[in-house]
């Protein structure tokens, strides 16, 4: 069960998805505009009572891209965006704004439920180990990351990506492997999710994201952690 904030301006979609997600066991709050969504998020994130935000991109007033940027500036809460089309501009724009995943409308409630559960599993510990890589400290039991002794706020997706890569330093993972491991997409998925996730992770953990020490690109293959 998750606490979900659904921000969607179409009343039929909003009420229908809200009802369906409740039937799947989730607690759901609804917002019809970007402004209302930001207000609800601000009041709920203060006491950690939202686990996932499901966010339509095409909203009146403050659009979903701006809502996503505002939420990401305040919190590492998981964000799944709803887009009316599988369009590069919409998808890339949403991912760059800070979304963790996306689904294309019309979406089946069971598919959205599966994506919500998948994004929440990214914050579930797998190994109880404490590791130090250079100036980066990973506590797998506490699910925390520190750089030079200071805590780094990672989203569930960024955290799972880092934990999966760092579990096998030097091993090269293809984009498809990372989609299955991190996003739990077991079909021929969208490599934009991986590339954008890596970009956002590098911005937080690397001293120089343009010349990464930790999450390195292996051209033509994928990504690896180190060698350090």
- Burial (CB count <10 Å: 0-12, 13-18, 19+), residue 226: middle
With residue 6 as reference, give the H or E element that holds it.
strand 3-7
User: What is the helix, strand, coil percentage profile of the chain, to 5?
Assistant: 40, 20, 35
From first to last of its 228 residues, the chain has per-residue pLDDT tens of: 889 999 999 999 999 999 999 999 999 999 999 999 999 988 876 666 789 999 999 898 899 999 999 999 888 889 999 988 766 778 888 888 889 998 988 888 999 999 898 888 876 655 557 788 989 999 887 888 999 999 999 988 999 999 999 988 999 999 999 988 888 876 556 788 899 999 999 999 999 999 999 999 999 899 999 866
Give the CA angle between residues 72, 58, 73 to the nearest 5°: 10
């Amino acid at each position: 069960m998750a606490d979900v904030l659904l921000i969607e301006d179409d009343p039929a979609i909003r009420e229908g998805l809200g009802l369906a997600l409740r039937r799947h066991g989730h607690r759901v709050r609804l917002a019809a505009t970007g402004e209302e969504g930001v207000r609800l998020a601000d009041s709920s994130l203060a006491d950690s009572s939202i686990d996932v935000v499901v966010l339509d991109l095409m909203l009146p007033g403050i659009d979903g891209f701006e809502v996503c940027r505002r939420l990401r500036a305040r919190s590492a809460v998981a964000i799944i965006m709803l887009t009316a089309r599988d369009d590069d501009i919409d998808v890339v724009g949403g991912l760059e704004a800070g979304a963790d995943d996306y689904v294309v409308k019309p979406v089946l409630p069971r598919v959205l439920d599966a994506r919500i559960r998948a994004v929440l599993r990214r914050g579930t510990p797998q190994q109880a180990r404490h590791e130090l890589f250079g100036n980066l400290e990973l506590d797998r039991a506490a699910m925390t990351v520190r750089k030079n002794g200071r805590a780094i706020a990672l989203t569930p997706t960024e955290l799972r990506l880092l934990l999966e890569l760092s579990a096998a330093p030097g091993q090269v993972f293809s984009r498809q492997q990372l989609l299955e491991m991190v996003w739990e997409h077991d079909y021929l998925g969208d490599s934009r999710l991986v590339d954008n996730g890596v970009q956002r992770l590098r911005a937080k953990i690397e001293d120089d994201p343009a010349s990464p020490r930790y999450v390195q690109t292996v051209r033509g293959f994928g990504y690896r952690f180190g060698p350090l």
